[in-house]
Amino acid sequence: MYSDKKNILQLTALLKAHGVTQIVLCPGSRNTPLIQTFVGCKDFTCYSITDERSAAFYALGLALHGGKPTAICCTSGTALLNMHPAVAEAFYQQVPLIIISADRPSAWIGQMDGQTLPQPGVFGQLVKKSVHLPEIVSAEDEWYCNRLINEALLETNHHGKGPVHINIPISEPLFRFTSEKLPEKVRVITRYQGLNVYNKDYNELIDRINKYPKRMMLVGQMTLIYLFEKKTSKAIYKHFAWLTEHLSNRTIPGLAIKNFDSVIYSLDKEQQKSLVPDLLITYGGHIVSKRLKKLFRENPPKEHWHIAADGEVVDTFGCLTTVIEMDPFEFLDKIAHWVESTPLCEFPRMWENLSKSIPEPADLPYSGLSAVGGLIKQMPDNSALHLGNSSTIRYAQLFKLPENTEVCCNRGTSGIEGSLSAAIGYARQSNKTNFVILGDLSFFYDMNALWNGYIRDNLRILLLNNGGGEIFRSLPELEMETETRDFVTATHHTTAEGWAKERGFVYIEAHNEEELQAGITELSSTETHRGKPILLEVFTDPESDIRILKDYYHSLKQNKPQ
């Protein structure tokens, strides 16, 4: 019988799945559930050694012979510290050693309870990775635990071999051994490195692509503009549904579906499920759409592959199965010759038809949304567009961009601080007209961005001022009293006029549709306007802004494709 602790069951199943066969066990009570479970698994050869310092070096010797990862398990407290010399040796000799330490729950550390000390990260820089597993009480805990274990075990052989530390808190009761078997199915994340057309790993991946009729490429934020070679684009494009957002900067081999967020909204729950691929392949950085994340998390694809040169585990949708460590464009070029000869499937065409059925917002009343759409439609080709976070980036996604537009946005952490400063720094080095669209909180939080002497006349700012954080008013299921709303949305009555003029900007304000159109015409002009940067401040009503956006989305459901 095995322990009833789910984190222990996940760990045991994944050790087995990743090919670990030898475990050195040191005595103790806190690690008894681990010992019982490891000994009960007949796939492991277990060794009992009392002295943790000697045991760790013994495990090192086992791993040295053959180079396969070997695990060592100890109880909590100073038992773990005795392994430090062997861990250091493993690090510098690049030996794949897996240190598994039982621990007290975090609440009891430093509370004069027996055999307690801060164990997470105790080996510092002498391990390639250190993870602290959660005690599993929810499905999210289980996903997180599974991901951490996979990350640690993959790291024993990533860019050279070496030791990793897995710390596992175990609450009392310790001695419940009620599980008759290990989990039948645990998610195993694999990593491929050094792929080429001559090795078996490459052929295996090709076979896996081949068996899935519903295939999707999802491209996140990328700062480099990369154009595919024509032969690669032609070969690969029609065999996948390609989804991306403006932030990908054309790093795709053709036209991609950018209004997928609206497509998802227009359909009911059952129809949305048909949009989910069997195989999802991702590259690039962040995806803005919360709807897409929710759809894939609730209806996970059968496989999710992430392609990245750093080979890191990035499990955005909770269903990652494969990490391919290589440049994504190199990978796509490698598989292009294969997909060109396979039959086309209906999945990409279904996505394309749905995308074409979704109209852009049109004939909009005066609002923040109409201001963003109006500027984007009048921006000259080959411009740079800098987007603030929250509402502005979501507004912009609803409109088609002019040809060859570069898009920048601080989506690494999605904060409002620094959006304007980053845009001004970029514009300083750019030979393009740089447009900045951002909300009032983003602007006033970073208004010192205008307080430098490096602002050029190629900078054009569209400031949406509706007196606070409008996006917070539209959060689903959030009902606020008036006082609470003022604090949450940071209600204000500030204008940028005085600061903009003092800093040498041509300042334009708009309070209605006529003023907005005149302001956008001036803002989007390719003339330098007497060598000065321009700021257009558009004043709108937050309640109207929310209603107009919701009306657009509701119209999609009313006219949804059948």
- Higher confidence at residue 340 or residue 437? 437
Task: Please check the confidence at residue 489 and state whether its pLDDT lies above 70.
Answer: no
Look at residue 7 in the predicted model and tell me its pLDDT: 96
Q: Tell me the range of 105-114, 176-185, 240-249 where mean pLDDT is highest.
A: 240-249
- Higher confidence at residue 227 or residue 558? 558
Look at residue 508 in the predicted model and tell me its pLDDT: 96
Residue 521 one-letter amino acid = T
Interacting residues of 409 by C-beta distance below 8 A, sequence separation 6+: 221, 247, 386, 387, 388, 389, 393, 419
Q: Tokens representing 158?
A: 């990533």
What tens digit of pLDDT does each residue of 540-559 get?
A: 998 899 999 999 999 998 66
Residues pairing with 306 in the sheet: 282, 323
Least confidently predicted of 33-37, 249-253, 442-446: 249-253
Q: What percent of the chain has pLDDT over 90?
A: 69
Burial class (CB in 10 A: 0-12, 13-18, 19+), 460: buried
Look at residue 263 in the predicted model and tell me its pLDDT: 96
Closest to 246 (Cα-Cα) out of 375, 376, 133: 376
Look at residue 467 in the predicted model and tell me its pLDDT: 81
Q: What percent of the chain has pLDDT over 70?
A: 91
Task: Please check the confidence at residue 186 and state whether its pLDDT lies above 80.
Answer: yes
What tens digit of pLDDT does each residue of 265-304 get?
A: 999 999 999 999 999 999 999 999 999 999 999 999 999 9
Q: List, as one string, the DSSP characters of 407-470.
A: EE--TTT--STTHHHHHHHHHHH-SS-EEEEEEHHHHHHTGGGGSSS---TTEEEEEEESSS-H
Would you say 385 and 401 are in contact if contact means Cβ atoms under 8 Å apart? yes
> Distance of CA 151 to CAs 67, 102, 118, 146, 554, Å?
19, 19, 22, 9, 42
Look at residue 411 in the predicted model and tell me its pLDDT: 84
Look at residue 469 in the predicted model and tell me its pLDDT: 62
Task: Please check the confidence at residue 480 and state whether its pLDDT lies above 60.
Answer: no
Look at residue 330 in the predicted model and tell me its pLDDT: 87
Interacting residues of 70 by C-beta distance below 8 A, sequence separation 6+: 20, 22, 23, 24, 59, 60, 62, 63, 96, 97, 98
Cβ atoms within 10 Å of 310's Cβ, excluding its own: 9
Look at residue 66 in the predicted model and tell me its pLDDT: 82
Average pLDDT over residues 413-423: 85
Look at residue 175 in the predicted model and tell me its pLDDT: 82
Domains (range + CATH), the chain: 6-169 (3.40.50.970), 190-356 (3.40.50.1220), 368-557 (3.40.50.970)
Mean pLDDT rounded to a whole number for the chain: 89
Quick one: which H or E segment has residue 102?
strand 97-103
Identify the three-state secondary structure at position 147.
helix
Would you say 396 and 376 are in contact if contact means Cβ atoms under 8 Å apart? yes
Look at residue 178 in the predicted model and tell me its pLDDT: 80
Look at residue 485 in the predicted model and tell me its pLDDT: 56
The pLDDT confidence band at residue 423, using thresholds 50, 70 and 90, is very high
Interacting residues of 381 by C-beta distance below 8 A, sequence separation 6+: 402, 403, 404, 405
User: How many distinct helices (H) and strands (E) make up the chain?
Assistant: 22, 18
Would you say 502 and 455 are in contact if contact means Cβ atoms under 8 Å apart? no
What tens digit of pLDDT does each residue of 56-103 get?
A: 999 999 999 988 999 999 999 999 999 999 999 999 999 999 999 999
Q: What is the Cα–Cα distance from 397 to 407, expressed in whole angstroms?
A: 11
Average pLDDT over residues 404-428: 88
Look at residue 217 in the predicted model and tell me its pLDDT: 95
> Distance of CA 389 to CAs 231, 471, 498, Å?
36, 10, 24
Query: Which 8-state DSSP code applies to residue 538?
Result: E
Q: Tokens representing 286?
A: 């962040």
Would you say 319 and 296 are in contact if contact means Cβ atoms under 8 Å apart? yes
Average pLDDT over residues 230-259: 83
Average pLDDT over residues 182-190: 91
The pLDDT confidence band at residue 412, using thresholds 50, 70 and 90, is confident
Q: What is the Cα–Cα distance from 508 to 438, expressed in whole angstroms?
A: 15
Interacting residues of 385 by C-beta distance below 8 A, sequence separation 6+: 246, 376, 379, 396, 401, 405, 406, 407, 408, 434, 435, 437
Least confidently predicted of 3-17, 361-375, 465-479: 465-479
What tens digit of pLDDT does each residue of 300-355 get?
A: 999 999 999 999 999 999 999 999 999 998 888 888 877 666 677 899 999 999 99
The pLDDT confidence band at residue 119, using thresholds 50, 70 and 90, is very high
Look at residue 15 in the predicted model and tell me its pLDDT: 97
Q: What is the Cα–Cα distance from 350 to 485, expressed in whole angstroms?
A: 42
Task: Please check the confidence at residue 188 and state whether its pLDDT lies above 70.
Answer: yes
Q: What is the Cα–Cα distance from 63 to 48, expressed in whole angstroms?
A: 16
Look at residue 268 in the predicted model and tell me its pLDDT: 93
The pLDDT confidence band at residue 172, using thresholds 50, 70 and 90, is confident
The pLDDT confidence band at residue 168, using thresholds 50, 70 and 90, is very high
Query: Which 8-state DSSP code applies to residue 327?
Result: -
What tens digit of pLDDT does each residue of 517-529 get?
A: 999 999 998 775 5
Task: Please check the confidence at residue 477 and state whether its pLDDT lies above 60.
Answer: no
Q: What is the Cα–Cα distance from 371 to 538, expressed in whole angstroms?
A: 8
pTM: 0.89
Look at residue 226 in the predicted model and tell me its pLDDT: 61
Residue 72 one-letter amino acid = I
Look at residue 284 in the predicted model and tell me its pLDDT: 93
Look at residue 561 in the predicted model and tell me its pLDDT: 52
Cα Rg of the chain (Å, integer): 28
